[in-house]
Amino acid sequence: METLKGGKMNTPYILGIDQSTQGTKAIIFDDSGTILARCDLPHKQIVNEWGWVSHDQDEIYRNVISASKNVIEKAGIDKNKICCMSISNQRETTAVWDKKTGRPLNHAVVWQCNRAKDICLEIEKAGFGDTIAAKSGLQLSPYYPAGKMAWLIRNIPEIHNKAGARELAFGTMDSWLIYKLTGGGQFKTDYSNASRTQLFSIRELKWDEELCGIFGIPADTLPKVCDSDSLFGETDLEGYLNQAIPICGVLGDSHGALFGHNCRREGNIKVTYGTGSSVMLHTGDIPVFSRHGLSTSLAWGIGGKVSYVLEGNINYTGAVISWLKEDMGLIRTAQETSELAMEANANDRTYLVPAFTGLGAPYWKSDAHAIITGMNRSTGRAELVKAACDCIAYQINDVVEAMRNDTGLHIKELCVDGGPTKNEYLMQFQSDISNVSVKIPDSEELSAIGAAYLAGISTGIYDDSSIYNAISYRFYENTMEVRKRNEKLKGWKMAVNMLL
């Protein structure tokens, strides 16, 4: 394992890159873990007539270089005092390039894109679904890189030919950026990203020959898998820095958020509230395979030891608030929802099940349709807004309960992040309905924080036991009676069961 260790370095700043679906953020952290400056650059969302979603991977790399320069100048720091660089990245988005020249051979296929659905259906019909799930921890799906890579080999002649000539490189966005930042010198990924490809054995911790064979992916097209705190290479940002700095903290974005929340022990759980939601539970050093529709992945590899997670993904959470505003016209701003929900009749029994694109974890009912049930004549605007807020918490609670049932762990605190965490009504209701304490950090950059803190710890810049003191928190505590909680959960289950 290649790592950077030793005493505290003289140079105090860390450059963090968060390469996400919509754009790239560059962030400067000081030697106490505090964010000094941030710069964002969007990239084009390339969507064709079939709804396939792509990114220009060269544009993303250029944005990483530009955003890095911009944030250093914005922070007003000496660029030669940057000690290292970290990367958190959108997961599953699949890049492809010529291994010798570094030339992209196609636009990157974005995680949202389902162009590989027919390939996955073919593989499912061939009877490989259970094998794939048992080895990779993931249910067969076109959203994972394995299917995307198979589609690219089958449909792009140049990619097919270079695969046969051993000149092809496939990788998630971290691998692409590491390759480019190191001038083609390093072709690597970390355990968190590798575990999301559907080609990696999460038990044996290596690219799996059988899985690669099922999808038709030559193993020599895939990057070397390293600990997340490894030395991934060095970069001078194309000559901008006087001397090269190490790239030494790499995590998929959800895993970065888990580390950023300091969820580093078994039983720790984080929830990211976005358009949809990711619920991730640290399950320790042994993988737990779900009986309730959750996926199993690697949290990270640190110091030669890996940790595992259970994850549940929900299709519609924050997007429900957008629906209230843009489609229903019930609110003008998202900020109105908390006050309206608090004004609503607390005894109203309206439930909204937002299955606009089916139900995600733990139900996985893709043909379900959204419903509103339980209304009476006094149900009005405030009650509908309240039901919309409530359904976010109910869905997350369903995943938390599945995690409790899968692991037997006592979950007593949710670490949360994302825009909807500003909604005081929602956060209190989440605490009440899940019977947990809800912990909210004062920063929204949890993915970038996690990767940067990992880099800082690995280089000796940050102290493992005190770095999280740079973040302050607010808490919500459960105040709901058991009887009332049970009544509300019973009503929610009845509503969901109408769709199952």
Nearest in space to 295 (alpha carbons), one of 159, 92, 473? 92
> Residue 297: helix, strand or coil by DSSP?
strand
CATH number for the domain whose boundaries are 262-500: 3.30.420.40
- The answer on pLDDT for 10 being more than 60 is no
Enumerate the domain spans of the chain: 13-252, 262-500
Strand partners, 86: 16, 249
Same topology, domains 13-252 and 262-500? Answer is yes
Digit-coded pLDDT (tens) for 186-202: 999 999 999 999 999 99
Pairing of strands 82-89, 13-19: parallel
Both tokens of 5, joined, read 């260790």
- The answer on pLDDT for 218 being more than 90 is yes
Digit-coded pLDDT (tens) for 299-347: 999 999 999 999 998 878 888 998 999 889 999 998 999 999 999 999 9
Strand order across the beta sheet in which 168-172 lies: 46-47, 53-55, 108-109, 94-98, 168-172
Tell me, what's the pLDDT at 6?
40
Nearest in space to 110 (alpha carbons), one of 141, 145, 140, 136? 145
Is the CB of residue 235 less than 8 Å from the CB of residue 82? no
Residues above pLDDT 90, as percent of the chain: 83
Model pTM?
0.90
d(CA 87, CA 17): 5
Tell me, what's the pLDDT at 11?
58
Both tokens of 220, joined, read 């020599």
Q: Class of the 13-252 domain? A: alpha beta
Nearest in space to 313 (alpha carbons), one of 297, 332, 333, 330? 297
How many other CB atoms sit within 10 Å of the CB of residue 52? 17
Is the CB of residue 172 less than 8 Å from the CB of residue 119? no
> Can you give the C-alpha Rg of the chain in angstroms?
23
- The answer on pLDDT for 155 being more than 90 is yes
Per-residue confidence band for 8, with pLDDT thresholds at 50, 70 and 90: very low
Digit-coded pLDDT (tens) for 338-375: 999 999 999 999 999 999 878 888 988 878 899 999 99
- DSSP one-letter code for 110: P
d(CA 164, CA 157): 11
- The answer on pLDDT for 7 being more than 50 is no
Residues with Cβ within 8 Å of 113's Cβ and at least 6 positions away in sequence, in order, are: 52, 53, 54, 142, 143, 148
- Tokens 């399950």, residue? 283
Is the CB of residue 35 less than 8 Å from the CB of residue 27? yes
Q: What does the pLDDT average to over 80-108?
A: 95
Tell me, what's the pLDDT at 2?
43
Per the prediction, the chain carries an average pLDDT of 93
| pLDDT: which is higher, 4 or 314 | 314
How many other CB atoms sit within 10 Å of the CB of residue 342? 15
> Residue 366: helix, strand or coil by DSSP?
coil
